[in-house]
Amino acid sequence: MREAALLRENIWLCDAVASPFILGVLRPRVYLPSGLDGAARDYVLAHERAHLARRDHWWKPLGYLLLAVYWFQPLCWFAYRCFCQDLELACDERAVRELGLAERKAYSSALLSSATAGRAVLACPLAFGEVGVKERVKRVLNYKKPAFWVTLIAILLCTLLAVCFLTNP
């Protein structure tokens, strides 16, 4: 990371980076491969900014710490894998929320090129293109905003469950 060049704010370009990622908990920095073109860079940055906005650079290490403590529990490994997939899918959804079909196709192309950049195997998927690329591309291309009534029902159901479980009989 010493060879990284500052692009702007907390965004760094580095020749040694094959796939975009965020490094740091207190002062997170986004590292991008220097070979990304303008459009792909914008899509990747939208995805990484979604991670920053959701504070995933705090949640993922916390999940990894819990996994380290309960390493012997197979259900924890499964839960952590699902957690990482959900983080990536949520950031994809946030990044493509306002995009049209042509832009979603370009986003998917950036996702595929990032995923095939050839990364080392890690115990934890940390970067833009590492979790279920085929499923992520399908979801990006078929993305539809959730209907208002679905959101309303989910909120009401959560409120009802909270009232039921938090009241003492």
pLDDT digits (tens, 9 = 90+) for 11-45: 888 888 888 888 888 899 888 888 778 888 888 88
| pLDDT for res 129 | 45
d(CA 86, CA 100): 23
Residue 139 lies in a domain: yes
Residue 21 lies in a domain: no
Whether the pLDDT of residue 127 is over 60: the answer is no
Note if the pTM is more than 0.85: no
d(CA 67, CA 166): 28
Q: Which domain holds residue 54?
A: 38-166
Number of folded domains that form the chain: 1
> Average pLDDT, stretch 132-160?
83
Residue 138 lies in a domain: yes
| pLDDT for res 1 | 63
Whether the pLDDT of residue 119 is over 60: the answer is no
Residue 17 lies in a domain: no
What whole-number percentage of the chain has pLDDT above 70?
Answer: 88
Residue 46 lies in a domain: yes
Residue 23 lies in a domain: no
| pLDDT for res 2 | 67
| pLDDT for res 117 | 66
Residue 28 lies in a domain: no
Residue 11 lies in a domain: no
